[in-house]
Amino acid sequence: MLVVSQIIKKLSHKDRSLSFICLSFTFQSAFALITPIYVLYLQSEGLTPQQITAVSSVFMISLFLLEVPTGLIADVFGRKISVVVGWALRSVSFFVYYWADSLPVFFIAEFVGAIGAACVSGSFAAWLREKTDYQGYLKTVSQTEVVIRIAPIFLSLISGYLAFNFGYNNLFLIGGVILMFTTFVGIFFMDPDQISERRNPELKGAEQFLSVIKDAKKVLLSSEILRMFLLAEFLVGLSLESIKMFWSIKFVQELGSEKYIGLIMGLSSIMLVVGSWLAGRIGKNKKQMKLNLMLTAFFSAISIFIASISRVFVLTIFSYLTHILINKILRILRRVFVQEHLPTSVRSSLTSLASMVQTCGSVLGLSLAGFLVAQYSITVAWIVSSLVLLISGVVYGWTKS
């Protein structure tokens, strides 16, 4: 109780780092419940692999179209407002999933969720980075990833059991309630934006948006390192979707049962914790950031390649979990890297642009994954993913320091 009271006291004083950690934890808890059973739920509703990828594509395409507009709105009107609205919409999307009984309704759920995700994606990180330096941002992001992975491990472990005994859709109902709680906590405890420090008081209405667009374009055109980073983001997005979408089906096929999926998800969560902890130490030296990005991309690609071709189940699981660990390190280093190269006035917009580029790669990756799985196999799809991820490492290596 003493620890809880201290956390509430710090939150009431608008401790930005602690707010970021706590809100990320509650948000992630909702997804910890449904992630292990998401594809299996769609399968149970009669969706084919192509329809499953189509449902996810609705989210990805919508997110792609909305990323930059929502980032511009956040830079002009406030990142806190954008984040809170985003969480509320994500909650609504979970409730739609709870009642969904046909393919069009799943499309609606994904579209609403995409609007919410776009509102949050560039704004939450920009909100944190606004008041922290490189080391502070790295430390907070690393700690956040550790916390949000340790606590929901229990939820991941029991999600398969709950789905088997109470139905898949009830997990979405619980997740929606958790996300709505996150929204209300954000309203009362998030530190307000420093909007006045970014705005030109002489600009009104559309002029504010045009000013942000002009500044963002200037930064992007003058920074080769950002342009190379965006190319690498596209390749990473292209490479990861077949792994994220079909891992549960692959292991159900090899194990012959879905009851161990929660266990594999729990082990994956442990790898994510270890990866988050390691990222906070690997990323301390800014001068080695390019080398770290390149090596983590290489090792992530090699591990998933081994997982795809292995015929020994233990080696397949070990390689897959190694990929999860290394990819988490890569994800955190990418987040820190891009924030370090963005001015605060356009931070949300350009962070959203980076997310949009990755989403573009993810949309194409989903289509490619669906085609490869339907025409060949999950193994072929994973081999292609590992090769694309390897190329992203080469791009990081070519990026000027």
pLDDT in tens, the chain (401 residues): 444 455 554 544 457 788 888 898 888 888 888 877 788 888 888 888 888 888 888 887 888 888 888 888 888 888 888 999 999 999 999 999 988 888 899 999 999 999 999 889 878 888 888 778 888 888 888 888 888 777 666 776 677 667 667 777 788 888 899 999 999 988 888 877 766 455 555 556 666 777 777 877 787 777 777 888 888 888 888 888 777 777 777 777 766 666 667 677 778 878 888 888 898 888 888 778 888 888 998 998 998 888 888 777 778 788 888 888 998 898 888 888 888 777 777 778 888 888 888 878 887 887 888 888 888 888 888 888 889 889 988 888 776 65
Q: What is the CATH number of the domain that holds 233?
A: 1.20.1250.20
Res 43: pLDDT: 84
Confirm whether 71 is domain-assigned: yes
CA distances, 383 to each of 124, 207, 247, 308, 395 (Å): 34, 48, 13, 6, 19
Q: What tokens does 229 get?
A: 């980073």
Residue 97 domain flag:
yes
Question: Radius of gyration over alpha carbons of the chain, in Å?
Answer: 20
Cα separation, 326 vs 266, whole angstroms: 16
pLDDT of residue 153: 66
**pLDDT for res 63:** 83
10 Å CB burial of residue 105 (0-12, 13-18, 19+) is: middle
Residue 108 lies in a domain: yes
Q: Is 52 among the domain residues?
A: yes
Task: Show the domain range for 138.
Answer: 13-191+205-398
Domain annotation covers residue 8: no
137 Cβ neighbours under 8 A, 6+ residues apart: 128, 129, 336, 339
Q: What is the C-alpha end-to-end distance of the chain, expressed in Å?
A: 48
Q: Does residue 358 contact residue 233 with C-beta atoms inside 8 Å?
A: yes
In 3-state terms, what secondary structure has residue 130? coil
- Contact between 293 and 396 under an 8 Å Cβ cutoff? The reply is yes
The crossing angle, in degrees rounded to 10, of helices 289-309 and 378-398 is 160
Q: Say if 258 falls within a structural domain.
A: yes
**What is the CA angle 344-275-161, rounded to 5?**
110
What is d(CA 180, CA 58) in angstroms, rounded to the nearest whole number? Answer: 23
CA distance 98 to 200: 44
198 occurs within a structural domain: no
Counting every residue written for the chain, the total comes to 401
Instruction: Give the number of domains in the chain.
Output: 1
Whether 200 maps to a domain, the answer reads no
**CA–CA gap between residue 297 and residue 57 (Å, rounded):** 25
